[in-house]
């Protein structure tokens, strides 16, 4: 399976701290995306990083991609209580049209 796996499964931090989530996947990819999901709602796209990119920034988000290790990380800096949500990585493999999601990291940010 090409499914991604996020690590850790759950993360609790205080407001103002940084949150780092990791994603590992199994096959070669076109790109990797990160999504956020508030409880019981749809997913919202955060950032896309292509296979030829190593790092990307968007506001307080920083994503890295290491294709040699088949891994990615999402860093949220200066976290806020409103960042509380589940975060998923999703990969678009080279040999398929599927967007496959990982298991997610549940982030809790305490005020």
User: How is residue 96 written in tokens?
Assistant: 């398929």
What are the structure tokens assigned to 49, written together?
Answer: 């990083």
Interface pattern 35-64 for another protein (x via CB under 8 A) = x----xxxxxx--x-x--------------
> Are 101 and 89 a contacting pair, CB within 8 Å?
yes
Look up residue 20 and give its two tokens. 């780092």
Nearer to another protein, 41 or 57 (CB): 41
Least distance between another protein and beta carbon 44 (Å) = 7
Bridge partners (DSSP) of residue 17 are none
Binding range to another protein, per CB under 8 A, among 58-66, 68-76, 77-85, 99-107: 99-107
């Amino acid at each position: 399976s090409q499914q991604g796996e996020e690590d850790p499964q759950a993360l609790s931090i205080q407001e103002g701290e940084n949150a780092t989530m990791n994603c590992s996947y199994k096959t070669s990819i076109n790109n990797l995306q990160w999504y956020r999901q508030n409880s019981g709602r749809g997913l919202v796209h955060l950032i896309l990083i292509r296979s030829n990119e190593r790092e990307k920034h968007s506001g307080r988000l920083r994503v890295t991609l290491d294709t040699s290790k088949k891994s990615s990380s999402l860093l949220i800096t200066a976290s806020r209580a409103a960042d509380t949500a589940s975060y998923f990585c999703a990969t678009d493999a080279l040999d398929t049209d599927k967007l496959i999601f990982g298991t997610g990291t549940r982030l809790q940010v305490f005020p």
